[in-house]
Amino acid sequence: MKQILIIGAGFAGLWSALSAIRQLDLNGSKGVEVTLLAPQAELHVRPRFYEPDVHTMAAPLQALFDAVNVRFVQGTAYHIDEAARRVGYRTRSGTRCTLPYDRLIMACGSELERPDMVGIEHAFDVDKLDSAARLEAHLKSLASLPNTPARNTVVVAGGGFTGIETATELPARLRAILGEDAALRIVVIDRGARIGAALGDGIRPAIEQACEALGVEWVCGATVVSVDPAGVQLDNGQRIDASTVVWTVGFKANPLTEQISGERDNRGRLHVDGNLKVKGNDAVYAAGDVAYATCDELGNHAVMSCQHAIALGRHAGNNAAAELLGVAPTAYSQPKYVTCLDLGAWGAVYTEGWDREVSPPEDKAEAKALKRQINSVWIYPPAADRASALAAADPLIPVA
């Protein structure tokens, strides 16, 4: 029995598994087994971790795996032996085991890169389910503290997508905890020269309007140089007293990518060919946040987002199975790039294209409704029904 082994149960891993099974079904193959290795049989809906009630943002997957005959192995990968084609993993109890593979799909995701900075341990983040839950518990605990400016102040380090969505959601979250009359101060610290500089001119007006309406401040052209329990120090000499600091700067591919033969970009992502096979590697594919993949004829590359991870997974699983079966692969292509940026109680903004030009729905309320649809329906796993789940795994389905 040949083995396709997938590391990771995120968006890329889930859709790699479904797409591989779909390809096997299409060719009536019973001689290939698809195994997925991950710490839990659940999809952590990471794009929503800036929202409250984070404990509800894990979608169970075991019933879906059972419906489509994906073998789930609970464990954490720690070693990849390319010569022997085996992956070493630790079970929950710490026991060391191995799994063989004929084709390996790296779908192990990314992680927040915390800098070597004085006091960084005092900063919260929304990178993982447990860390987002820690932030939520901390925010709720603020109600028991004396009503001071520091208690009512949150510093968000980083003005990218995660930082903006976190910052603009915080006023509503904090008022629910501290009361409608709380004198809140939310401050985004960003090295860019202007608000939302990393996202471009097209989307900036909406970010500026939302932040003004919500009372979210920006300190531009600055970086945090140290954190302590009472606040942050900036490189411009400014001190901000705050009981809460949220770090959202810098993501890198899972360090497991360092064990794979192949070229990597500056975020550790593996360079892949048009079929998502790691360049120069005989047996390894990459999908999601660990893949440096060209997604159109203009040379744009997939970004670390569920929008790209889903499509990358559909192609990687399909093509790994196709190679073992000796049938034609489906080259990865994802020329349409869209964003829907949540801007808290103000609304949201929808853009199309790599320049992020605002597109219909241009109304902030309509864009907010679309964002809710994306976050609560579109990015969740399919139902545990074999036919519909595999139909949804077709790599030729456009993702927007």
Rounded mean pLDDT of 110-115? 95
Report pLDDT digits (tens) over 377-394.
Answer: 999 999 999 999 999 999
Domains in the chain: boundaries: 2-112+251-336, 120-247
Q: Taking 90 as the threshold, does the pLDDT of residue 399 lie above it?
A: no
> What CATH number belongs to 2-112+251-336?
3.50.50.60
Widest pairwise Cα distance in the chain? 68
d(CA 141, CA 384): 38
> What CATH number belongs to 120-247?
3.50.50.60
Q: Taking 90 as the threshold, does the pLDDT of residue 131 lie above it?
A: yes
Q: Interior CA angle at 211 toward 205 and 212, to 5°?
A: 90
Report pLDDT digits (tens) over 65-92.
Answer: 999 999 999 999 999 999 999 999 999 9
At 94 the pLDDT is 96
pLDDT > 70 fraction of the chain, expressed in percent and rounded: 100
Tell which residue, 159, 217, 147, 150, has the closest CA to residue 190.
159
pTM of the model: 0.96
Report pLDDT digits (tens) over 300-330.
Answer: 999 999 999 999 999 999 999 999 999 999 9
Report pLDDT digits (tens) over 271-307.
Answer: 999 999 999 999 999 999 999 999 999 999 999 999 9
Give me 58's structure tokens.
């894990």
Q: Taking 80 as the threshold, does the pLDDT of residue 33 lie above it?
A: yes
At 360 the pLDDT is 87
Sequence length of the chain is 400
Residue for token pair 């192609």: 315
At 400 the pLDDT is 60
Report pLDDT digits (tens) over 251-270.
Answer: 999 999 999 999 999 999 99
Report pLDDT digits (tens) over 167-215.
Answer: 999 999 999 999 999 999 999 999 999 999 999 999 999 999 999 999 9
Residue 347 confidence class, pLDDT cut points 50, 70, 90: very high
Q: Taking 70 as the threshold, does the pLDDT of residue 14 lie above it?
A: yes
Give me 163's structure tokens.
């930082």
Over the chain, what HEC string results?
Answer: CEEEEEECCCHHHHHHHHHHHHHHHHCCCCCEEEEEEECCCEEECHHHCCCCCHHHCEEECHHHHHHHCCEEEECEEEEEECCCCEEEEECCCCCEEEEECCEEEECCCEEECCCCCECHHHCECCCCHHHHHHHHHHHHHHHHCCCCCCCCEEEEECCCHHHHHHHHHHHHHHHHHHCCCCCCEEEEEECCCCCCHHHCCCCHHHHHHHHHHHCEEEEECCCEEEEECCEEEECCCCEEECCEEEECCCEEECHHHHHCCCCECCCCCEEECCCCEECCCCCEEECHHHEECECCCCCCECCCCHHHHHHHHHHHHHHHHHHHHCCCCCCCCCCCCEEEEECHHHCEEEEECCCCEECCCCCHHHHHHHHHHHHHHHCCCCCCCHHHHHHCCCCCCCCC
pLDDT > 90 fraction of the chain, expressed in percent and rounded: 98
Give me 106's structure tokens.
């790296």
Residue 180 burial (CB < 10 Å; 0-12/13-18/19+)?
Answer: exposed
User: In this structure, are residues 390 and 64 in contact, taking their beta carbons and an 8 Å threshold?
Assistant: no
Same fold, 2-112+251-336 and 120-247: yes
Give me 80's structure tokens.
């990849």
User: In this structure, are residues 118 and 226 in contact, taking their beta carbons and an 8 Å threshold?
Assistant: yes
